Amino acid sequence: MKLMHYFIVFFLCFTFTVTANESGTEITQNKPRIIALAPHIVEMLFDIGAGEQIIATTEHANYPLSAREIPRIGNSLRIQLERVIELQPDLIIAWQSGNPSDDLARIKQLGFNVVYSQPDTFDDVAKELRLFGKLSGHSEQAEKVANKFLSDLAKIKQQYGQKKPLTAFYEVWSRPLTTIAKGSWPQQFLDICSISNPFYQSDARYPQVNIEQILQTHAQIIIQPLSENQAAREGYTWQQWPILPAVKHQQIIKLDADVVHRMTTRSLNALNDLCQQTDISRQYYQRG
C-alpha cells in the first residue's frame, strides 16, 4: 500500500511540471534572490515576471524552458542544506506539504527567510500570486495575473455552475484504483463543472476504492487524467464493465494529467476542457 502512496506523490510531482507565458523579464537588480522549492512555485514566479530571480529549485521544475536551466538543490524528500547556505538566498518559497518539514525547520533555524506555499484551492492560487508578487517586487504584474485568473474562473463558474449534475468517477490512479474526495485539488473541478462525486464523503482525500463500489455508483462519466510523462501510467480498462452507464455509452473523458494536477494559472485550461467535455456528455444523456 505504501508503494501506492509513493506512486501518487510521484505522479503528482511529475504533473506539477510547469508552464507559463514567458513574461517580460525585467532587470532584476535590487530584487530578492529566490529559492523556489516546487515546480508550481517556479511557474507562478515566471507568471508574474519574477522567473529571473529564481536561483535554485527542486526536481521536475521543467517549464518554461528557462526553468530547466535553474540549478537543482533537492527533491520532494530532501533539500541540500549546504547548497542553500552557499547560494545565500534572500527568500525561500517552500511547498508546505510537498517539502520535507525537518529540512525546512533546519533552514529556518539557520536564519533564512522561509515563506510557505500551499495552494489547496483556485482562490489560493490567486492569493499566492499576489503574495509572491509583493515578495519579489512584481506586485503590479502579479495583481494583473491574479485578477485575470479570478475573472476567467468566474466566467467558467457562471457558464457551467448551474447545469444539471452528472455522476462521475474520477480515476487518479488505476492500480490500485484510486479516486478523489472532499478536500482534494481535483474535487474543485468537479464542483465547478456540476459533476457529483459518489466518493465525496470518504475519509481520505485520495481514497482507494474497489471496483464493486464503483459499479454501484452508476457513474455516467469516467474522468481519466493521463500523463504523457510517465511510461508506466496506464488507465484502467473499463471496457469489461459495460454495466456502468459511462462504459456502455462510452462517456470516458480523458484529460491531460500534467495540466489538471498543476496548482497554477494553467489549471483553468484543464477546468474549461473538463467542463466542455462534460457538457457534451450531458447533452448526450439528455438526448438519449
Q: Using the minimum distance from each CB to other proteins, give the nearer residue, 23 or 184.
A: 184
At 203, is the secondary structure helix, strand, or coil? coil
Q: Which stretch binds other proteins (CB under 8 A): 96-104, 188-196, 263-271, 275-283?
A: 96-104
Interface with other proteins, residue 88, by CB under 8 A: yes
Residue 16 to residue 47: CA distance in whole angstroms: 15
Site track 156-185 with other proteins (rule: CB under 8 A), x = hit: ------------------------------
Interface with other proteins, residue 72, by CB under 8 A: yes
Site track 52-71 with other proteins (rule: CB under 8 A), x = hit: -------x-----------x
Task: Give me the phi and psi of 106, to 5 degrees please.
Answer: -65, -40
Residue 208 to residue 187: CA distance in whole angstroms: 15
Q: Which stretch binds other proteins (CB under 8 A): 7-15, 25-33, 47-55, 186-194?
A: 7-15
Task: Name the minimum Å distance from CB 157 to other proteins.
Answer: 28
Interface with other proteins, residue 101, by CB under 8 A: yes
Residues numbered 205-234 forming contacts with other proteins, rule: CB under 8 A: 205-206
Task: Name the minimum Å distance from CB 6 to other proteins.
Answer: 6
The residue count for binding other proteins (CB under 8 A) is 37
Interface with other proteins, residue 78, by CB under 8 A: yes
Closest C-alpha to 202, from 192, 224, 217: 217
- Per residue in 29-47, is it b (16+ CB within 10 Å) or e — as a string? eebebbbbbbbbbbbbbbb
The three three-digit cell numbers of residue 227, written as one number: 500523463
The three three-digit cell numbers of residue 54, written as one number: 529564481
Task: Give me the phi and psi of 173, to 5 degrees please.
Answer: -150, 145
The three three-digit cell numbers of residue 178, written as one number: 484510486
Q: Using the minimum distance from each CB to other proteins, give the nearer residue, 112 or 189.
A: 112
CA of residue 252 relative to chain centroid, distance:
21
The three three-digit cell numbers of residue 126, written as one number: 490567486
Query: Which residue ranges make up the site for other proteins (CB under 8 A)?
Result: 1-2, 5-6, 8-9, 12, 59, 71-78, 80-83, 85-86, 88, 97-98, 100-103, 105-106, 109-110, 203-206
